[in-house]
Structure 1
Amino acid sequence: MDLDRARAFLAGNHRGILATIKRDGRPQLSNILYFLDDDGRIKISVTQTRAKTHNLRRDPRATLHVQGASPWQYVVTEGTAEFIEGPGVLEALRRYYRRVSGEHPDWADYDRAMVADQRLLLSISVDYAYGQLP
């Protein structure tokens, strides 16, 4: 599938299933909210303690499945994950929130919650795509 076509589909959606690789080689699946950023990368809010975070730190290969309006309309992307953390992570998480949910009523409260949750932003390249679109 053409990557531009896949990205156009991804840009119109925010829900997907992220697949990472467990230590034993089996897939670990997570329902997630994402957005396709202007840099063409998929952005997902994650916490330090989740299995997907541990899996991607060990093996950065990631697959995202996004279903369309019908069960036969979907795109699957494969790429490499990187983490946005440290200085700048709160601004990156705010951008994520705005793109997925709109404006937050209290950004100071949001920032405190992100720190308490040990949140970071996952950034996944879109290197390969396949699926079925009309």
Structure 2
Amino acid sequence: MPSRRELIRMTPEEVRAYLLSQRRIILVTNGPDGMPHPVPMNYGLDDESRILITSFRKAQKVTNLERDPRATLLVESGETYAELKSVIAYADAEIVTDPDQIAAGMARINADAQLSGSISGAMSEQVRASIAKRVLLRFTPFRTVSWDHGKLGTFY
């Protein structure tokens, strides 16, 4: 009989579908004092299931990743125990400074309609100016942990 852990683990396809259905992720970098530095961010995925986040170049999270490119990312949902669903990705970060790649990454981020509408072919001057100050953070997971308590049905 499979363990409960095995029963609730998501397949890679389920992980991708879940990550595509969510909007917010908690990005945890290693701060200058060794303490975790967690921040909530909007995110997206590329075709290779790498996690994409944009940030201002001078942000603490970017400074942390320049010093140590390892990060942990968490997406979670559910109000009751039976609804709990989560993915933790342990990842290596890449800091991308190319403006075209930043704009392409911004277009993939799950955001509200107003923000995602501004990252179109006719993007506003404000967005164009913002890209010059931004980086694209691209995270390649090397280990993923997931669970979906809904897979247990009514048996906890």
TM-score class normalised by the smaller sequence: 0.7 to 0.9
Query: What secondary structure is seen at the aligned counterpart in 2 of 1:132?
Result: strand
| Structure 1 position 100 matched with structure 2 position 111 | yes
Deviation at 1:95, TM superposition (A): 2.0
Give the alignment partner of residue 128 of structure 2, picking from 98, 108, 111: 111
> In percent, how many aligned pairs have the same letter?
27
In 1, Cα distance between the equivalents of 2:29 and 2:123?
A: 31
Q: 2:59 is matched with which residue?
A: 50
Residue 120 (structure 1) aligned to one of 104, 126, 135: 135
Q: Which residue does 1:64 correspond to in 2? A: 73
CA RMSD of aligned residues (A): 2.1
Gap regions ≥5 residues in structure 1 = none
Q: Distance in 2 between matches of 1:65 and 1:3?
A: 16
Structure 2: segments with no counterpart, 5+ residues: 1-8, 151-156
The list of structure 1 runs, each at least 4 consecutive aligned residues, that deviate by more than 4 angstroms after superposition, is: none
The aligned length equals: 131
2:40 aligned partner: 31
Q: In terms of Rg, which structure is larger? A: 2
